């Protein structure tokens, strides 16, 4: 009985040993019957340690794991591997790949591709690495790959950055893509080039569901190829996003390998996260394949903000060839409007609204102004139409404006806006650390601040969109001298504010939303950590061309804590802001009033905060506030020195 029990306990070991023996025998048998060239390539790959090189593992999309030792591929898609364990065993994958390259072409079904055609980047790298040439491999025709490659005709690569777009959770930090230009292109013909884009594969229309699934890896990320003009129309025209084009100094053979690898990745699904393994991160992996040794993707382990990835690419020596700015249609239109005097703006609006006949302004103003007014009225109507808020009879009015403009001869079209002095990649770093101190309720405190991304209204403004505040994971930890302990003052998972100054042509609305936990006044006195959400909307106005903005709107919020009566409390009330949007001095004065559902007396809060910008990556922030809630009054003063990395 004991003998039988020992045999049963050893059965798994015996089966495993038997499996290894069968595998080795089958491998040896296969190698024995393989062509001499295949045996030689297998031996060279083994002796060279090719499977352990970064170049081979980059081709398999291997990266260091964040919580466990070792490297694994970023995809588990079985179609991307030729060995069952190829996603975690680069040695098995290199053997399987070499063997597959010797597959008889006649045995490949018509609707499938020969492995040499399916993986041209691996083929090129292995032949070069192992000192072989194409004559070693069976001769294979790859018409699909050749047609695709010749249709794109790659010559050089441009990294394109689309500015942040608050209307889409996936694009709040901006977006990057790679444009592949054929030879002898100019700025206009480059619209016909193709772009390599990586994005979440979804038709989801709910912004909330899209945001939640995008943050938690609920979508598959896919590569796609499309004409550049489609993306320019989407970004420049429909979403009013400026485009920055960074022409990269890649060698022809590097561009060639990048395109081969792009072909291999078509149809391969990757986990997609808005903040980490996103569009920008995957493009870095492509560039790592094109030019081995840069290891760009390795520099992003927890989050990958598009502007940070652009900085990382451009930090490579002699990588940047040229920068081209492609302003959005709204940027061009705003520039034209800025050129109009108040009287000409009145006339432009009258033409756009159909209150004036385009032909009636012929003798009223000079030719230069007439051309500008007619162009601006037409561009305004055209922009509204593309934005979906045009009127039904607008087309005829637009035609009349075009006819009238064609009769103003000898006058050039409106100038394009100048390129901003600071590019997005030249703005402050997105990681912010701060050290501060102050006093609240008579007790002194010291504070430590950490925010992984991205920008708020008092940070250095150069390189960022005016009025856009996008912050994730903002943390403040305090040591409170009165309580004699360390405590979490604030953890805001998300904090977004979009301020759009209203004018006569664009009466836009402003909005804000934030959610997380923060220390708030409680009924019994003192403060407790409460979790909740806060949001609102209203209007923003700019005082002429000055950096003074004013905001007025309504706020509503809900906060929960065991220290509250009933555990939950909802509040609503007005909010007024005055903001100074200077380049070196920025600040805001804010007043809020609110009524709550717990029948406590109305509360209010007023505060002023000022930022002194020392440099692109350093600022000092000073703030003082006073608030009243639950009949308790409290004053707070704080100073924080911020650094941006």
| Of the candidate ranges 77-81, 199-203, 244-248, 452-456, the one whose mean pLDDT is the lowest | 199-203
Residue 375 main-chain phi, psi, to 5 deg:
-65, -45
pTM: 0.87
CA atoms of 158 and 283, how far apart (whole Å): 12
Confidence band, pLDDT 50/70/90 cuts, at residue 188: confident
* Bond prior to 454 in cis (omega within 30° of 0): yes
Q: What is the pLDDT of residues 77-110, one digit of tens each?
A: 999 999 999 999 999 999 999 999 999 999 999 8
Section 460-469 average pLDDT: 92
Higher pLDDT: 328 or 276? It is 328
Average pLDDT, the chain: 90
Rg (CA), the chain: 31
Q: What is the pLDDT of residues 383-402, one digit of tens each?
A: 988 877 767 678 889 999 99
Residue 21 main-chain phi, psi, to 5 deg:
-65, -45
The predicted structure's pLDDT at residue 620:
98
CA atoms of 503 and 576, how far apart (whole Å): 19
The predicted structure's pLDDT at residue 167:
66
Q: What is the pLDDT of residues 615-635, one digit of tens each?
A: 999 999 999 999 999 999 999
Higher pLDDT: 236 or 24? It is 236
Section 289-311 average pLDDT: 93
Confidence band, pLDDT 50/70/90 cuts, at residue 187: confident
What per-residue string of b and e applies to 545-576 under the rule 16 or more CB within 10 Å gives b?
eeeebebebebebbbbbebbeeeebebebebe
**Tokens, residue 5:** 């029990």
| Of the candidate ranges 167-176, 466-475, 495-504, the one whose mean pLDDT is the lowest | 167-176
- 3 state SS of 508: coil
Section 169-191 average pLDDT: 86
Confidence band, pLDDT 50/70/90 cuts, at residue 426: very high
Of all residues in the chain, the percent with pLDDT exceeding 70 is 93
Asked whether the beta carbons of 224 and 197 are under 8 A apart, the reply is: yes
Section 203-219 average pLDDT: 76
């Amino acid at each position: 009985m004991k003998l039988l029990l020992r045999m049963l306990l050893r059965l798994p070991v015996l089966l495993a040993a038997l499996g290894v023996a069968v595998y080795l025998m089958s491998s040896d048998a296969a190698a024995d019957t393989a062509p001499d060239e295949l045996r030689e390539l297998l031996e060279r790959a083994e002796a060279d340690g090719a499977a352990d090189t970064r170049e081979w593992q980059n081709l398999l999309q291997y990266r260091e794991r964040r919580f466990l030792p070792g490297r694994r591929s970023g995809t588990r898609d079985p179609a991307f591997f030729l060995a069952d364990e190829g996603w975690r065993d680069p040695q098995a994958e290199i053997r399987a790949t070499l063997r597959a390259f010797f597959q008889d072409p006649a045995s490949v079904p018509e609707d499938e591709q020969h492995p040499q055609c399916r993986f041209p980047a691996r083929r090129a790298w292995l032949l070069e690495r192992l000192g072989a040439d194409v004559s070693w491999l069976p001769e294979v025709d790859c018409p699909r790959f050749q047609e695709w490659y010749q249709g794109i005709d790659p010559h050089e690569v441009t990294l394109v950055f689309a500015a942040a777009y608050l209307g889409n959770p996936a694009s709040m930090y901006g977006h990057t893509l790679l444009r592949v230009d054929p030879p002898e292109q100019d700025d206009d013909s480059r619209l016909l080039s193709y772009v390599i884009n990586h994005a979440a594969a979804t038709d989801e229309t709910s912004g909330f569901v899209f945001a939640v699934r995008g943050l938690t890896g609920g979508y598959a990320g896919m590569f796609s190829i499309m004409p550049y003009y489609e993306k320019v129309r989407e970004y420049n025209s429909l979403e009013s996003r400026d485009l920055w084009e960074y022409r990269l100094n890649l060698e022809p053979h590097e561009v060639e390998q990048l395109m081969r690898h792009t072909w291999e990745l078509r149809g391969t699904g990757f986990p997609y996260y808005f903040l980490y393994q996103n569009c920008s991160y995957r493009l870095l992996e492509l560039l790592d394949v094109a030019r081995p040794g840069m290891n760009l993707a390795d520099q992003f382990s927890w989050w990958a903000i598009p502007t940070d990835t652009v900085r990382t690419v451009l930090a490579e020596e002699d990588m940047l060839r040229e920068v081209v700015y492609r302003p959005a249609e709204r940027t061009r239109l705003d520039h034209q409007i800025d050129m109009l005097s108040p009287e000409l703006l009145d006339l432009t609006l009258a033409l756009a609204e159909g209150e004036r006949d385009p032909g009636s302004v012929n003798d009223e103003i000079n030719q230069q102004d007439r051309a500008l007014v007619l162009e601006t009225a037409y561009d305004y109507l055209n922009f509204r139409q593309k934005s979906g808020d045009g009127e039904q009879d607008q087309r005829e009015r637009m035609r009349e404006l075009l006819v009238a403009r064609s009769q103003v001869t000898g006058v050039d079209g409106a100038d394009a806006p100048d390129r901003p002095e600071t590019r997005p990649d030249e703005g402050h770093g997105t990681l912010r650390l701060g050290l501060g101190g102050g006093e609240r309720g008579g007790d002194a405190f010291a504070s430590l601040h950490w925010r992984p991304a991205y920008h708020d209204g008092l940070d250095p403004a150069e390189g960022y969109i005016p009025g856009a505040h996008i912050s994730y994971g903002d943390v403040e930890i305090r040591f409170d001298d009165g309580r004699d302990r360390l405590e979490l003052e604030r953890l805001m998972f998300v904090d977004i504010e979009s301020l759009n100054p209203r004018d006569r042509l664009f009466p836009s609305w402003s909005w804000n939303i934030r959610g997380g936990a923060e220390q708030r006044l409680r009924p019994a006195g003192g403060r407790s950590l409460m979790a909740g959400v806060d949001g609102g909307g209203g209007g923003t106005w700019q005082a002429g061309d000055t950096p003074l903005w004013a905001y007025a709107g309504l706020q509503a919020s809900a906060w929960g804590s065991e220290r509250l009566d009933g555990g939950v409390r909802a509040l609503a009330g007005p909010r007024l802001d005055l903001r100074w949007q200077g380049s070196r001095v920025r600040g805001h004065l804010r007043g809020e009033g609110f009524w709550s559902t717990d029948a406590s007396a109305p509360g209010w809060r007023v505060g002023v905060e000022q930022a002194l910008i020392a440099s692109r990556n350093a600022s000092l922030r000073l703030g003082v506030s006073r608030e009243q809630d639950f009949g308790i009054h409290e004053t707070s003063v704080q100073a924080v020195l911020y650094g941006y990395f």
